[in-house]
Structure 1
């Protein structure tokens, strides 16, 4: 699917420099950035889910560590 992305002159210059430094197209740089951000978001959500289950289970132990 095609889309138009409007960037400031400064952001466009940064994208140009990044693409040149990596030897990639601007499109590839943006796709990789999107994939990276998506992966980080999913990791954060998974961590929140695990902590939501684990912390209540070990609340007493964590509280004792906090006072030690």
Structure 2
């Protein structure tokens, strides 16, 4: 599936940092930016799953948690 075009406006400092990182990694600025986006999305998806599991455990184990709190 072909990529969808998008314009990303960065500050001068962000562009310089991206350019330096790309040079260090021997990759294009686009490749580094896309990798950063992928990592961000994966991290946020993981955090969302962890939050959902935590909410479920707290709800299901509220009695145990109350007893532990009072112990």
- TM-score between the two structures when normalised by the length of structure 1: 0.84
Match of 2:34 in 1: 31
Residues of 2 paired with 1:3 and 1:59: CA distance?
46
User: Which ranges in structure 1 are unaligned for 5 or more consecutive residues?
Assistant: none
- Regions of 4+ moved over 3 Å: none
Deviation at 1:56, TM superposition (A): 1.3
Match of 1:57 in 2: 60
Residues paired across the two proteins, number: 68
| Root-mean-square deviation over aligned CA pairs | 1.3
Q: Deviations over 1:15-40 (max 9, x none)?
A: 01111111111001111111111111
- TM-score between the two structures when normalised by the length of structure 2: 0.81
User: Which ranges in structure 2 are unaligned for 5 or more consecutive residues?
Assistant: none
